[in-house]
Amino acid sequence: MHKDWAGPEPERQRTMKEKLYTIPLNDAVNANDECPFCYIERNVEQNLLDYVLGSAASYMESDTRDMTDKYGFCREHIRKMYDYGNTLGNAWILKTHYKKTIAEMQEQFKKYSPRKLSLKEKLAGVEGPSNNIFEWTKKKDCSCYICNRFAEDYKRYMDTFFYLYAEDPEFARKIDEGKGFCLHHFGELCDYAEVHLSEKEKKDFFPKMFELMNRNMERLFEDISWLIEKFDYRNKDADWKNSRDAVGRGMQKLRGSYPADPPYTQKK
C-alpha cells in the first residue's frame, strides 16, 4: 500500500493478520449485509451497551463512571440505554453524570453575559457568535461515551479494510461482488481512500467502488419499486422476490444503522 497508509510498515504487515480487527471485518463481509461497516458498528455498539449496563456491572466501577460522566451520551445512545433496560444501572450512571453536569451548568451561568447586536446587524440577520450557554449545550449534544469508544476502533477497521482489499484477493472479490455500503460509510471510505491511497491505487479503487455502489443502489430501487407493485391487487399472487424487507434495507442504505431492528435489551 501507499507509504502514508500507516506505519511503521514492515511491522504492520507482519502483525495485521494477527490483529483481531480482521476477524469482525471478515465476519461482516461474509454476512453479505447491505453495509459491512454498519454490521461492525452494530456489534461494537451492542458490546459497549453490555459493557456499560450488562451483568458485569461496569457502571459500578469508578473509572467507567468517570468516563461516562465526562462524555455523557448522545440522543441516540441514551435512548438505546433506556431500551436496554437495567433501571438501577441507568440510574447510577445518571446520578453521577447529573452531579457533574449541574456543576458545569452553574459555572456557565456565572459566565453568561447578554449578547449584543446592533440594530443594523439585527436587520441584516447577522447571526455571529452565540452565547456561552448555547455553545456549552451544543458541545454536550456532540459528546458521547459510546460514540467515542467506537471511534477509537473505527480507524483501525478502515486500515484493516484497505490492507485486506490490497493483500487478500478473496476479500477483494467479496467486496467487488457484494452489496456495497450505506451512503454514510461509503462517504467515509472515500474520504479515507483519498488521503491514504496513492494516485495509482485511486485509479483502480474508485471506479470499482462507483460501479459497486451504482449497481447496488439500483438493486434497492428495484426492490422498493416491486414492493409497491405488490400492493396492487393484480400482483397479489406474484412472487415477492427480494422486496419483503426492502423498506428497512432501503433506509439502511441511505442513512446507515438498522431501522428494522428491535431494541437491543439486557440478556436475562
pLDDT in tens, 128-182: 657 889 889 999 988 999 999 999 889 999 999 999 999 999 999 999 999 999 9
Closest to 145 measured CA to CA, from 265, 257, 52: 52
Quote the domain boundaries for residue 243.
9-111+144-255
pLDDT range class, residue 117, cuts 50, 70, 90: low
pLDDT at 9 over 60: no
Domain assignment present for residue 2? The answer is no
pTM over 0.75? The answer is: yes
Q: Over the stretch 39-65, which tens digit does the pLDDT of each residue have?
A: 999 999 999 999 999 877 677 888 888
220 within a domain of the structure (yes/no): yes
Please check the confidence at residue 96 and state whether its pLDDT lies above 60.
yes
Q: 238 is written with which cell numbers?
A: 406474484
Rounded CA gap, 95 and 100, in Å?
A: 9
In a domain, 201, yes or no: yes
**Over residues 239-247, mean pLDDT:** 96
Question: What's the confidence (pLDDT) of residue 205?
Answer: 97
How many structural domains is the chain composed of? 1
Cell of 139: 458541545
Write the single-letter amino acid at 211.
Answer: E
With respect to residue 60, please indicate whether it lies within any of the assigned structural domains: yes
If you ran DSSP here, which 8-state letter would residue 17 be given?
G
Torsion sign (Cα): 249, 255, 260, 261: positive
Residue 243 pLDDT greater than 60, yes or no:
yes
Amino acid (one-letter) located at 15: T
Average pLDDT over residues 88-111: 94
- Cell of residue 17, nine digits: 493478520
